[in-house]
Structure 1
Amino acid sequence: MRDFHQPGRSMVIAANGMCATSHPLAAQTAVSILQAGGNAMDAAISAAVLLGIAEPQMTGIGGDCFVLLKPAGSEEVRAMNGSGRAPAAASAAALRDRGLTTVPTEGADPVTIPTAMDAFCRLNADWGRMSLSEILAPAIRYADEGIPIAPRVAFDLAKSAPRLSDSGRRHYLIDGEAPRVGQLFRAPGQAEVLRRVAEQGRDGFYTGEVAEDMVDTLRAAGGVHTLDDFANARADYTTPISSSYQGIELLEHPPNGHGATAMLMLNILSQFDLPSMGLLSADRAHVEAEAAKLAYDTRNRVIADPDHCARLEHMLSLDTAAQLAGLIDMQTALPMPAASAEAIHKDTIYITVVDRDRMAVSLIYSIFHGFGSGLASDRFGVLFQNRGAGFTLTEGHPNELAPGKRPLHTIIPGMLRENGRVLMPFGVMGGAYQPNGHARLITNIHDFGLDVQAAIDAPRSFADGQTMQVESGYSDAVRDELASRGHKVVVPETPLGGGQAIILRSDGLLEAGSDPRKDGCALGY
């Protein structure tokens, strides 16, 4: 139990339904959908689309999503891959001929075909109770009327605004400046797009005037995208991968998602006695950093489009984890692995919803970097993701850019299952931090006995690039000790990610937490 003398928040407990996400208006929208007779899928899609207006630098209809779903009355978990493919005319050789060694992060080159909207339409048709018109109505209203900018959103907008192109600045800035706290952000062009989707389904987005606007904008910026690329966009059902951590089953998306990285991290950490180290000790932060270095280095050589990923079984092998754990010296930091050629993003949203029938949805939705590619469609203001920057240009690499191929994706929704029963849908945002965040949240709960809110609140650390980022919640003594072991310790300007989770308790109640690093909350009824 937390110390009620100290600032903080308690976990939320409810009996009927629950949402946890990064903006309070989205959480309220999801619960309103549940109370109006919708199910968890209706609520999750409705709130996720709204988050594209509430947090426009983080996500939007020009992006991708991944979803894990537990249907009502079942403990089976299904996965929907709503990540986009490279255009049919994409060419790594063409970019190399221009002297590029990596895919750019801005402009038309990194824009893969946005596929979240296809996923949302298909999930609504297959699993929803309400119509598209009903679940898109809140986002349409807020896009027309405006949403007051929240404090964390304002912080992120100011940092990301310089990445916007001329069309992006016209649609996403106010009087040429990043929107400030309390200013109303409106997106009337997106409201019109959503009205067309509400009436026509996916064709309202992927064909007709909306698609023409997107393709014309991309081609004017030098892109090779075509109307056929958009018309052919499709999301796919896939089978989750799973691994066990001390009796708890972790379920993640298969490649091209990198949930396997979290699994490898946990397999490495299982070789150590974490509880004996202490929650905020230098030992715990050190061993986690070393496990992350080893797991992420493996990821960079393995994870790619599912048709090009051939060594996943090796990555998830306990023998592999044991061999990697043997490389960890508790007193000396390993060198940082070679930098990945793929760009690693910082921004996304996560939402989880559980309804009264115990359908559970774990959904993550992103445009990759802050404001994506920086490029917005001229007429409707659809902001394009830059997910193609996740490809490599290294010839022959499994993740090399190629026509119709999906890049390595960093966004990973998670679920835990125990004794065959789904225990917790969850997600941890924060770009490359996400697999590390999954491992940290799970070990906070399982090894250190924290409740779901305390587990999310707890200070974080992450070996990222050439530094070890250690949040200010750690003591100076721990930072000094980590530095003495060879880590290049910094306190990050921006806290490490965000996170939300809902626990389906054995007594039938729901228990949830939401990250104070964001503006959102958990809300139930």
Structure 2
Amino acid sequence: MRFAVMSTFAAIGLAATPIAAEEQKPVEEQIGSGGRPVGANWSRSPVIAPNGMAATAHPLATQIALDILKDGGTAVDAAIAANAALGLMEPTGNGIGGDLYAIIYDPKTDQLYGINGSGRSPKGQTLDDLLAKLGDRTSLPPVGPLPVTIPGTVDAWFAMHERFGRLPMNDVLAPTVSYAREGHPVAPVIAMYLERSRAAYNARLQSYDFEFDNARATYFEGDRAPAVGEVFKNPDLAQTLETIGRDGRDAFYKGDLAKIMVDYLQRQGSAYTLDDFASHSSDWVEPACAEYRDGFELCELPPNGQGFAALQMVNILKNVDLRQWERGSPEVIHYITEAKRLAYADVARFYADTDFFGFPMDLLSEEYGRERFALIDPKRATTEFGPGEPKLEGEGDTTYLTVTDKDGMMVSLIQSNYRGMGGGLVPDGLGFMFQDRGELFSLDPNHPNAYAPSKRPFHTIIPAFVKKDGKPYMTLGLMGGGMQPQGHIQVLVNIVDYGMNIQEAGDAARINHDGGRQPTEALGGPASDPLGTLNVEPGIPAATVEQLRAMGHNVRVVSNGIMFGGYQAIARNPETGVLSGATEMRKDGQAAGY
């Protein structure tokens, strides 16, 4: 097969601690993968099932989703149940203190529906107020009260459930309530991330003054992270979820839970009030799609997220036939990297809360894609790309999951607390951490993403959906900050151009370009890192790495898988309804069906 040039992966086992870049042993000194009767030796079979399927970052969450489907729940019911479980079992990636986005395919209406469940800044705090609190700091901190935005997940759950759910919400949340009270064994990759978070928070306590006793009591008792296989309990979260399931959405945004959160935040110096929580609501939004080739269309949600960057990359890359080269060639990786850099120059300039800045839809036109493609030098990495000139109209950690039910409803859902586990703040007795998503606001008052009262910051988390010949075909997502749009594109290229199945498309070695212009930087100023770093996994051939360096790319080989995302996907055969699912080898997850 054309992608076989991507040599045997070097480090597919789980390391107890992160391995620094360039530390992996030469391939000839390592044991390689075993053989397979079909497919690539470095992958495994997709999961095939006829009735329903779930793919999540934790096997127990996947099983909870399947149980909900078998009990008569819809894919939305199952997705909410799995998301609640992941907030308990994978607190390093998500939780009800964070935000949520989803794309839902409804077979009854044959339509895609998008939901933006992201939270806003305090109504009563201006940019000048914020700058006064920051003092000499030139950016928002990663911890404490200032980067907190309203947690949007619970409202998004209820908005989706009201429209597409079937089972009572208390039944949907009950499995997680039980696991929170009785405990669950900690999975290997999550244990590593918990220890990583513990160390990071301890380091930040040396530079920032923020309340961490509640978080330590909830997650790091005795200043230690739970070990692999250790049974972890969170009775506070059990009580919180039980209250939400019994009393509904308003318990979180207007009732006793809201009062506890606001009282806690105000004690930390936050400007949030009960009215900020009571007035929060999610937005139903319309996904946009861009056709790549062979009838495949990638669909993404509009800003304040970065999903449209993937559509910009589609419109750039469709101008070159990547199939003329092997998948692991320097040419393919060069074009994908330069397309990402071009798209992100626009992300840094134009992507923001559309209630405050009208998104220039010209960015998604095929003509604009051709113009941007023409800027790529096929032989050299361009030192710096600036944003385009469209017509204007007025360390991130995340979890992704997907569920499909027997009726053909498909849910693509992503949820996050942003950096690490969030901003370190756990409200008294509630068992979850507030997100620090507000760190992504710009402090330049002229920037579309500038901080303002009651505004949503730029967001990194994006669910995706793929159509084939106009019909619903595939849900997919790939966790990890700026990795996400470029990850969506790499999976799409693997499937469409190189014939990989959905499991191989996720297992194949990835690249992650980091750097370039950022949506937090001031307009008109120099980029802090214009060329950026092209991070690659060991499965990228050594000869390709050397050629990319000769082309001017700043290439770093990274062997631990941490910065290359976490992929899940489900494809549905439009003729037979048979489902195939895939999950991420770089995480603890599982795809399963029935």
Structure 1 residue corresponding to 2:485, chosen from 412, 430, 435: 435
Aligned residues, how many? 520
Aligned to 1:487: 553
Structure 1 residue corresponding to 2:431, chosen from 360, 377, 381: 381
Aligned to 1:49: 84
Q: Equivalents in 2 of 1:487, 1:280: separation in Å?
A: 16
Show CA shifts across 1:8-36 (max 9, x none).
42101100001111110011110111111
Q: Equivalents in 2 of 1:7, 1:239: separation in Å?
A: 38
Q: Equivalents in 1 of 2:548, 2:129: separation in Å?
A: 44
Q: Equivalents in 2 of 1:170, 1:331: separation in Å?
A: 55
Shift of 1:475: 2.0
Show CA shifts across 1:461-517 (max 9, x none).
122122110011112221111111111111234240011111111322011111101
User: CA contact under 8 A between 2:51 and 2:593: conserved in structure 1?
Assistant: yes
Show CA shifts across 1:318-338 (max 9, x none).
222112111111221122568
Which shifted more, 135-144 or 212-221? 212-221
Shift of 1:418: 2.2
Show CA shifts across 1:120-176 (max 9, x none).
012112211100110000110111111211111011111112344222111111321
Q: Equivalents in 1 of 2:359, 2:72: separation in Å?
A: 44
Which shifted more, 307-316 or 319-328? 307-316
Q: Equivalents in 1 of 2:227, 2:384: separation in Å?
A: 38
Structure 2 residue corresponding to 1:120, chosen from 138, 157, 174: 157
User: CA contact under 8 A between 1:50 and 1:139: conserved in structure 2?
Assistant: yes
Query: Alignment partner of 1:347: what SS?
Result: strand
Aligned to 2:582: 513
User: CA contact under 8 A between 1:214 and 1:382: conserved in structure 2?
Assistant: no
**1:192–1:337: structure 2 CA closer, same or farther, 3 Å change rule?**
farther
Q: Equivalents in 1 of 2:356, 2:373: separation in Å?
A: 27
Structure 2 residue corresponding to 1:34, chosen from 44, 69, 76: 69
Partner amino acid, structure 1, of 2:347 = R
Show CA shifts across 1:358-410 (max 9, x none).
01111101101111111111222320001111211111211111111111111
Shift of 1:309: 3.2
Aligned to 2:466: 416
Shift of 1:54: 0.8
Structure 2 spans left out of the alignment, 5+ residues: 5-34, 202-211, 388-394, 516-531
Structure 1 spans left out of the alignment, 5+ residues: 340-344
User: CA contact under 8 A between 1:90 and 1:401: conserved in structure 2?
Assistant: no
Aligned to 1:342: none
**1:253–1:188: structure 2 CA closer, same or farther, 3 Å change rule?**
same
Q: Equivalents in 2 of 1:29, 1:321: separation in Å?
A: 42
Query: Alignment partner of 2:490: what SS?
Result: helix
Aligned to 2:172: 135
Q: Say what the alpha-carbon RMSD is for the aligned residues.
A: 1.7
Aligned to 1:455: 505
Query: Alignment partner of 2:355: what SS?
Result: helix
Partner amino acid, structure 2, of 1:297 = A
User: TM-score w.r.t. structure 1 length?
Assistant: 0.96
**1:337–1:179: structure 2 CA closer, same or farther, 3 Å change rule?**
farther
User: CA contact under 8 A between 2:495 and 2:502: conserved in structure 1?
Assistant: yes
Q: Equivalents in 1 of 2:318, 2:298: separation in Å?
A: 13
Residue pairs, 1:69-468, within 5 angstroms: 69-97=104-132, 98-164=135-201, 165-246=212-293, 247-336=295-384, 345-465=395-515, 466-468=532-534
Q: Equivalents in 2 of 1:51, 1:349: separation in Å?
A: 8
User: CA contact under 8 A between 1:368 and 1:386: conserved in structure 2?
Assistant: yes
Query: Alignment partner of 2:104: what SS?
Result: strand
Q: Equivalents in 1 of 2:446, 2:578: separation in Å?
A: 51
Identity value in percent: 42
Structure 1 residue corresponding to 2:568, chosen from 489, 495, 500: 500
Query: Alignment partner of 1:87: what SS?
Result: coil
Q: Equivalents in 2 of 1:400, 1:285: separation in Å?
A: 33
* 1:62 is the counterpart of 2:94: no
Aligned to 2:537: 471
Show CA shifts across 1:82-126 (max 9, x none).
111111123222233323322221110010000110110121122
Which shifted more, 64-73 or 25-34? 64-73
Q: Equivalents in 1 of 2:346, 2:444: separation in Å?
A: 17
Shift of 1:227: 1.1
User: CA contact under 8 A between 2:43 and 2:504: conserved in structure 1?
Assistant: no
Query: Alignment partner of 2:571: what SS?
Result: strand
Show CA shifts across 1:213-271 (max 9, x none).
21122112211111111111111111112222123222111111111100001111111
Q: Equivalents in 1 of 2:432, 2:196: separation in Å?
A: 20
Aligned to 2:48: 13
Shift of 1:285: 0.9
Q: Equivalents in 2 of 1:395, 1:445: separation in Å?
A: 42
User: CA contact under 8 A between 2:512 and 2:563: conserved in structure 1?
Assistant: no
Which shifted more, 414-423 or 75-84? 414-423
User: TM-score w.r.t. structure 2 length?
Assistant: 0.85
Partner amino acid, structure 1, of 2:118 = S
Query: Alignment partner of 1:356: what SS?
Result: coil
User: CA contact under 8 A between 1:95 and 1:103: conserved in structure 2?
Assistant: no
Q: Equivalents in 1 of 2:55, 2:92: separation in Å?
A: 20
**1:336–1:218: structure 2 CA closer, same or farther, 3 Å change rule?**
farther
User: CA contact under 8 A between 2:290 and 2:299: conserved in structure 1?
Assistant: yes
User: CA contact under 8 A between 1:259 and 1:412: conserved in structure 2?
Assistant: yes
Query: Alignment partner of 2:243: what SS?
Result: helix
Partner amino acid, structure 1, of 2:36 = F
Query: Alignment partner of 1:119: what SS?
Result: helix
Q: Equivalents in 2 of 1:91, 1:186: separation in Å?
A: 40
Query: Alignment partner of 1:412: what SS?
Result: coil
Partner amino acid, structure 1, of 2:585 = P
Q: Equivalents in 2 of 1:213, 1:337: separation in Å?
A: 47
Q: Equivalents in 2 of 1:146, 1:315: separation in Å?
A: 48
Q: Equivalents in 2 of 1:93, 1:473: separation in Å?
A: 49
User: CA contact under 8 A between 2:306 and 2:351: conserved in structure 1?
Assistant: yes
Query: Alignment partner of 2:467: what SS?
Result: strand
Q: Equivalents in 1 of 2:107, 2:55: separation in Å?
A: 19
Q: Equivalents in 1 of 2:336, 2:565: separation in Å?
A: 16
Q: Equivalents in 2 of 1:312, 1:522: separation in Å?
A: 38
Query: Alignment partner of 1:517: what SS?
Result: coil
Partner amino acid, structure 1, of 2:428 = D
User: CA contact under 8 A between 2:83 and 2:401: conserved in structure 1?
Assistant: yes
User: CA contact under 8 A between 1:106 and 1:163: conserved in structure 2?
Assistant: no
